Structure 1
Amino acid sequence: KGAFYFFEKPIFNDLERFFTIVRQAIKAYEMERELDSLRREVSEKYSFPNIVGNHPKMLEIFEMIRRVAQTDTTILIQGESGTGKDLVAKTIHYNSLRKDKPLITINCGALTETLLTSELFGHSKGAFTGAVKDTIGRFQAADGGTVILDEIGEIPLHLQKTLLRVIEEKEFERVGDSRPIQVDVRIISTTNRDLAEEVKRGNFRKDLYYRLSVVPIKIPPLRERVSDIPLLVNHFIKKYSKGRPSIKISPEVMDRLIKFSWPGNVRELANVIQQMMVLSRDATITLHDLPPQFFTKGETPPSMEGKVDLPQIVSEIERKWILTKLEEADWNQEKAAKLLGMTRKMLVNRMNKYHIKRAKIKTQKQPIWH
C-alpha cells in the first residue's frame, strides 16, 4: 500500500524518532487490519442471504433491492413493526456505490421537534441556550453516504418543508445560521404508517411523499408469508447457537409457530426462538419450552414431569440469560449490564454467584510482516 514514512541516511542520528515512527507505522497497520475486519463483518451482516425468505412477495423484494442498490434514487420502505425495514434499508446501502461512505440512521420519533431540527441540520454557536459551539447535523455528517429516516411519518409538518428542500436542492441551513450548506446524501425512509392515508388527513405533505417514494418497497407481515417461518426458525437457531450444540425444533412446536399470528412479526419470532434456546434444558425444543401465548385459553401448557425445584430452575434460567447477553456484548460488562437492565455492579455480583467466567482462548501471535 506504499510507504508510511521515509528517513534520510544515516538513521542512527535520531534513533528515538526512528522508533517512534516505527511504532506509529505498526499501530496504523493494526488499525487498518481491524478496519478491514469490521468492513468484512458489516458486509456479511448486510448481505442478501441475511434477508431470509422464499415467498413470492419476498423474492420480488430481493429483486427490487438488487436493482435499486446501484442507484441514488430515494426509497420508501413500508411495513409493520418488526418486519425488517431497517435490515432492508441497510442492505441497500451496503450493496450500493456508497457502501464505504457514512451511513447515518435518524429515529424521527425519538426526538422532540426542537431537538430533531438541530439533530438533522446542526446549529451554530449561540443559536439557543446551551449551544456553546458550532455543531454539524446528521445530514452533514453523512455527506457522500446514506441517511436512513426511521419512522418518517413522525416528522412534524414544519420540518417536512425543510426536508423537501434537502432532497430537491441538496442544501440546508444550520439552526441560527442563514448560510446554505451543500450536501450529497441518498435518503432511504422507513415507516409503519400508511403515508398515503396520512397525506389525505393533512398530516404529511403530498409533495414530500412523492419525492420520498420514488421507489416504494412494501414488506409483508409474517402472517402473510407463513411458508417462510421454517426458514426463519432455522436461520435464528444458527444465529443464536454461537458454537453451542445444535438444537432442534420438534414438529409440534413448528406447527404452533406456523399457526401463530405474529403481531410483532420477524422480530417477535427471533425473540421467541432466542428465549426458547436459552430456557430449554434439552437438545430439542418441545411444547414445554413454548411461551404461554402459544396456547389457547382452554388449553393448559404441558407441565414438567416429576418434582420441580423452582428456585433451581429460576437460577439456571438467569444464569443462561446472563451468559447470552455477555456473549452478545462480547463480554463487555458495561454493555451486557445495559442489555440486562441492571448496573455493572449487579452484573458482577451475579457473575460471582453463578461462577461465570469467560473461557480463556489461547491465541498464537501472528507476525506483522512476513
Structure 2
Amino acid sequence: MNQNELIEQINSLKDQLKKTTFDLEKRKKELHCLYTISKIAETENLDIDFLMQQVVEIIPFSLQYPDISAATAVVLNKTYKNCPHAPNQWKISAPIKFSGKKIGSLTVYLTRKPHQNLETPFLKEEQDLINAVCERVGKIIQRIQITEQLKAIEYELHSKQGNRIWVEENQTKIPWNSSPALFSILGDITREKEKEHLVTQENIRLRSSIKERYRFQNIIGMSPAMQHVYDQILTAANSDANVSIYGESGTGKELVARAIHDLSLRNADAFVTINCGAIPEPLMESEFFGYKKGAFTGAVFDKHGYLDLADTGTLFLDEIGDLPLSMQVKLLRAIDGGGYYPIGSQSKQTSDFRIIAATNKNLKQLVGEGFMREDFYYRIQVIPIFLPPLKDRKEDIPLLIDHFTDIYAKNSPLKKIPNHIAAQILNHDWPGNIRELQNALLRFFSTGEFEILNMTVKPIQSDHFKQSIPPGDTNTDLSHAIKTVEKEQIINALQSTNWHRSCAAAKLGISRSTLFRRMKKHGLKLKRNVRY
C-alpha cells in the first residue's frame, strides 16, 4: 500500500468515525428526549395539558437546529406551543393516536431556513423521533384517561355513635379468572382531610381579605403585581408540587418561599435553606446526603444531610442555577423516589421533601447552554412564580419606607425621612430592589447619610443626630411627601389621558375604583364634558 492509498484510507476512517460520532450524538439526544417524556409521565396527578406543554418545550432541544426550532401540538382540539410562531413550509409532523384513532398531531417548524443548501432541513432520524414521541404520547394520554376513570374515590362514613371517618378507595383494573375486575384498596384519611380542611378554610379567608392588605405573611405590598404574587403563593401552598421562584436579586424570593411553606400542609416540619452557590462542589454530596462515621478522614461522627433534615418538610434551594450537573443527577434520583446513599453507607435512605427553588437566572436558557439537565429542569419547574422588580411596583415603596422606618427609627435619633430624600426614593429605579432600599434606609438611620448609586446626601451635622431636620427642610412628614408625589402622579396620568379615568387607572397600574378613592382623597374633581 503506497502513501497516497494509506492517507486516503485514514481519511475514510476519519469520515466514518465522524459520522458514527454524529449518529451517536443524535441517538443520545433522541433517547434522552424519550426518557424525559417517560419521566414526566410518572408525575403525580398528571393531566393532558401539563403533558403536552412539557412535550412541546422538550422537542426543540432534541433537534439539530434547536435555536430556530418551534413545536406545536394539537390534542383533542386544544393547541400547545413552546413559543409564538407562524406555520411555514419547513416542517415535519406526525399524528397522535389513541386506540388507533387520531386525536391530534405534533408539528415541528423551523422559524427560518438554515444556511445549508439542503433539500429538506430535517433529518430522517428527526422524523423518526417525532413519530416515536407521538406514539409514546398517545399511550400516555390513554393511561391518563383510564386513570381519570379509575381515580381514587373519597367518601365520608358515619357510625351509629355519630363518629365520622374519611375513606379513600383506590381502584386498579386487574384480570380475574380471564375476566376484567377491579381491585380496591381502602385507607383511613380522616386526619389528612381535617388538616386539609383547616388549610383550605384559612386560604379562603386570606383570599377574601387579601385585596385590601398591604402585608401578606412577611411580604409588604398592595400593588396589582404583588396581589397576583399573593394569589400564586396560595395556589402553591394548596399543592405539594415543586415550585420555582424567579426574580432579580433583592426581590424577596426567600420570603415568598417561606410563605408557601408556612401556608402548606408541611408547615409543622422543617424549612431547610441551602445556598447552592455557597457550597464548594467537592462538599456538595456530603452536605446534601450526609455521611457515616469513618467515611473519610475527619468524619468522627454520623452527619445528617440536608435531605434528612428536610424529611416531611421543605427544601429551599436558593440560587439553584449554580447547582453543578453532577449534583443535579444525584438529586434528581432522590426527587424521583430512588433514594440516596450517605457517603460511606451501603444503606439507601429516602426522604419525603418538597423543593422550592429560587433563581435570578433564566433556567430554560441554562438548559439550552448545557448547564442544567432538561429532566432536572422539568422536575423543579412545575409551579413557576415570577417576582416583579421594585421599579415595576413603585406604589409599594411608601409602604416599604414605613415598614423599615418602624424598625430602624427605634434605636436612632432620626425618626422620619425628610422630603428631599423621600423624593429621591420615589424617583429612583432601585436596581438592587428591596434589599438596596433596606440598606439605604439602614445607613440613613445609622449615620444620617443617604446614598444611592454614586449620589450621596451629606450627613446631618449635629451631635448624635439630635437635630434630624436638614437646613432648608421645614417639613419632615414622610406621609405628606408621599401624598404630594402621589397627587402629582395622578394629575399627570389624568392630564395625559384627557381625564379619561379608566385609561388613567390603567396607566397608574391601579383599579378604576382605587383611582376614584384617591382622587377624592386629594380633592381632585372630574372636569366637565369629559368622557370616561
Question: Is contact 1:75-1:214 (8 Å) kept?
Answer: yes
Counterpart for residue 168 of structure 1: 336
* Cα distance in structure 1, aligned partners of 2:232 and 2:413: 37
* Cα distance in structure 1, aligned partners of 2:336 and 2:314: 16
Are 1:225 and 2:393 matched, yes or no? yes
3-state secondary structure, aligned to 2:295: coil
How do 1:131-142 residues align onto structure 2 when only pairs under 5 Å count? 131-142=299-310
1:290 is aligned, of 450, 457, 466, to 450
CA offset at residue 114 of structure 1?
Answer: 1.7
Counterpart for residue 274 of structure 1: 442
How do 1:152-167 residues align onto structure 2 when only pairs under 5 Å count? 152-167=320-335
Question: Is contact 1:145-1:184 (8 Å) kept?
Answer: yes
1:146-174 alpha-carbon deviations (Å, 9 max, x no partner): 11111111111011011111111162111
CA offset at residue 293 of structure 1?
Answer: 3.3
Question: Is contact 1:65-1:92 (8 Å) kept?
Answer: yes
Q: 1:264 to 1:61 in 2, by over 3 A?
A: same
Q: 1:301 to 1:279 in 2, by over 3 A?
A: closer
Q: Name structure 1 gaps, 5 residues minimum.
A: 1-46, 281-288, 317-370
Are 1:194 and 2:366 matched, yes or no? no
Greater per-residue strand proportion: 2
1:258-284 alpha-carbon deviations (Å, 9 max, x no partner): 22121211011011112212223xxxx
3-state secondary structure, aligned to 1:136: coil
Q: What letter is aligned with 1:113? A: E
Percent identity between matched residues is 42
Normalised by the length of structure 2, the TM-score is 0.45
Question: Is contact 1:260-1:294 (8 Å) kept?
Answer: no
CA offset at residue 177 of structure 1?
Answer: 2.2
Counterpart for residue 32 of structure 1: none
Q: Name structure 2 gaps, 5 residues minimum.
A: 1-214, 468-532
Counterpart for residue 16 of structure 1: none
Q: 1:248 to 1:119 in 2, by over 3 A?
A: same
Question: Is contact 1:170-1:184 (8 Å) kept?
Answer: no
Counterpart for residue 119 of structure 1: 287
Q: How many residues align?
A: 254
* Cα distance in structure 1, aligned partners of 2:274 and 2:406: 30
Are 1:255 and 2:415 matched, yes or no? no
3-state secondary structure, aligned to 1:187: strand
3-state secondary structure, aligned to 1:202: coil
Counterpart for residue 183 of structure 1: 351
CA offset at residue 294 of structure 1?
Answer: 6.4
Question: Is contact 1:170-1:183 (8 Å) kept?
Answer: no
Question: Is contact 1:106-1:150 (8 Å) kept?
Answer: yes
1:299-331 alpha-carbon deviations (Å, 9 max, x no partner): x85686xxx68xx669x9xxxxxxxxxxxxxxx
3-state secondary structure, aligned to 1:171: coil
3-state secondary structure, aligned to 2:385: strand
CA offset at residue 179 of structure 1?
Answer: 2.2
* Cα distance in structure 2, aligned partners of 1:116 and 1:301: 45
Counterpart for residue 67 of structure 1: 235
Which aligned runs of 4 or more in structure 1 are off by greater than 3 angstroms?
241-246, 292-295, 300-304
How do 1:343-358 residues align onto structure 2 when only pairs under 5 Å count? none
CA offset at residue 49 of structure 1?
Answer: 4.3
Question: Is contact 1:76-1:189 (8 Å) kept?
Answer: yes
Q: 1:161 to 1:303 in 2, by over 3 A?
A: closer
Q: 1:87 to 1:197 in 2, by over 3 A?
A: same
Question: Is contact 1:120-1:137 (8 Å) kept?
Answer: yes
* Cα distance in structure 2, aligned partners of 1:203 and 1:174: 25
Counterpart for residue 238 of structure 1: 406
Q: 1:138 to 1:49 in 2, by over 3 A?
A: closer
1:74-133 alpha-carbon deviations (Å, 9 max, x no partner): 001111111101111111111211111111111111111121110000112332222223
How do 1:329-344 residues align onto structure 2 when only pairs under 5 Å count? none
1:191-246 alpha-carbon deviations (Å, 9 max, x no partner): 11111111110000111111101001111111222221111111111232348788
Question: Is contact 2:334-2:340 (8 Å) kept?
Answer: yes
Q: Which has the greater radius of gyration?
A: 2
